[in-house]
């Protein structure tokens, strides 16, 4: 078929670049190749079809698909008459980034805020102890101030994440309309 080789070469270039940068999403290049394969498909694929295309084991393919589903980069779809699970790539790159960003950052914020709040409680209890040296009291108060500054940062970060989830971010940094003529 005329142009088929050139089409595959253009797709493969993009898939390879994506796979090399998937570490930003915390996944391996092979998972990136899988997403790229699904992205360029014009129809859903089964695990068996993906396995054949990429030469990976079915177990590895299943694990990779699950990783991509956890990141909201792949969805399971239903097709009448097909009993096997079918998968498609999320094609909205903005939404893919938003889902990834919010999942990762919310988790990080939760972990860090929890640790800070526990440490603040411990430091306030420590301040109640008698016979603390002036130097230790000064250091405790300094740490308390630093931890409150960190909480202010995490409050800001939560509001930033909120702006992604609500798409308010696009009021400040609008999406550009695509020019499909290029």
Alpha-carbon span 53 to 47, nearest angstrom: 10
Asked if residue 145 is part of any domain, the answer here is yes
Measured between alpha carbons, how far is 157 from 138 in angstroms, rounded to an integer?
Answer: 29
The helix/strand/coil state of 88 is: strand
pLDDT band at 42 (very low <50, low <70, confident <90, very high): confident
H helix or E strand, kind and range, residue 60: helix 58-70
Residue 74 contacts residue 87 (beta carbons within 8 Å): yes
**In a shared domain, residues 103 and 161:** yes
Q: What percent of the chain has pLDDT over 70?
A: 97
Q: Does 59 lie in the same domain as 15?
A: yes
Question: In this structure, are 71 and 9 located in the same domain?
Answer: yes
Provide the number of structural domains found in the chain: 2
**Mean pLDDT of all residues belonging to the chain:** 91
Within this chain, do residues 102 and 59 fall inside the same structural domain, yes or no?
Answer: no
Residue 76: φ, ψ to 5°: -85, 135
Q: How confident is the model at residue 179 (pLDDT cuts 50, 70, 90)?
A: low
Clarify whether residues 128 and 155 are in a common domain. Answer: yes
State how far the Cα of 73 lies from the Cα of 88, in Å rounded to an integer: 9
> How far is it, in rounded angstroms, from Cα 140 to Cα 128?
11
Residue 49 maps to a domain? yes
Q: pLDDT tens across 77-131, in order? A: 988 887 889 999 999 989 988 998 898 899 999 999 999 999 999 999 999 999 9
Residues 11 and 43 in one domain: yes
**Among all chains, which residue has been given the structure tokens 């796979």?**
19
- Distance of alpha carbon 29 from alpha carbon 19, whole angstroms: 4
In a domain, 43, yes or no: yes
**pTM for the structure as a whole:** 0.76
- Residue 22, in any domain of the structure: yes
Sign of the alpha-carbon torsion through 34, 67, 75, 78: positive
Is residue 7's pLDDT more than 70?
yes
Q: Per the domain annotation, does 178 fall within a domain?
A: no
- 42 and 116 fall within a common domain: no
The total of other beta-carbon atoms located within 10 Å of residue 159's CB is 10
With respect to residue 179, please indicate whether it lies within any of the assigned structural domains.
Answer: no
How far lies 165's CA from each of 93, 105, 106, 122, in Å?
Answer: 14, 12, 11, 34
Least confident of 66-75, 159-168, 171-180: 171-180
For residues 93 and 36, is the Cβ–Cβ distance under 8 A? no
In a domain, 162, yes or no: yes
By residue range, what is the domain housing residue 100? 94-172
Residue 180 domain-assigned?
no
User: Domain holding 63: CATH number?
Assistant: 1.10.10.10
- Residue 37 confidence (pLDDT): 93
86 with 117, same domain: the answer is no
């Amino acid at each position: 078929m005329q142009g088929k080789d050139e089409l595959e070469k253009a797709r493969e270039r993009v898939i390879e670049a994506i796979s090399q940068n998937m570490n930003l999403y915390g996944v391996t290049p092979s998972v990136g190749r899988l997403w790229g394969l699904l992205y360029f498909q014009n129809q859903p694929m089964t695990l068996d079809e993906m396995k054949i295309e990429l030469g990976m084991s079915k177990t590895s393919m299943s694990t990779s698909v699950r990783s991509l589903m956890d990141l909201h980069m792949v969805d399971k779809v239903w097709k009448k008459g097909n009993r096997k699970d079918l998968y498609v790539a999320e094609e909205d790159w903005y939404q893919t980034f938003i889902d990834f960003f919010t999942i990762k950052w919310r988790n990080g914020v939760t972990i860090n805020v929890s640790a800070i709040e526990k440490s603040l409680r411990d430091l306030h209890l420590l301040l109640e102890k008698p016979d603390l040296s002036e130097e230790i009291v000064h250091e405790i108060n300094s740490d308390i101030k630093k931890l409150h500054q960190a909480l202010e940062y995490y409050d800001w970060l939560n509001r930033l994440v909120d702006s992604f989830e609500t798409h308010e971010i696009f009021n400040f940094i609008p999406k550009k309309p695509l020019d499909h003529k290029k």
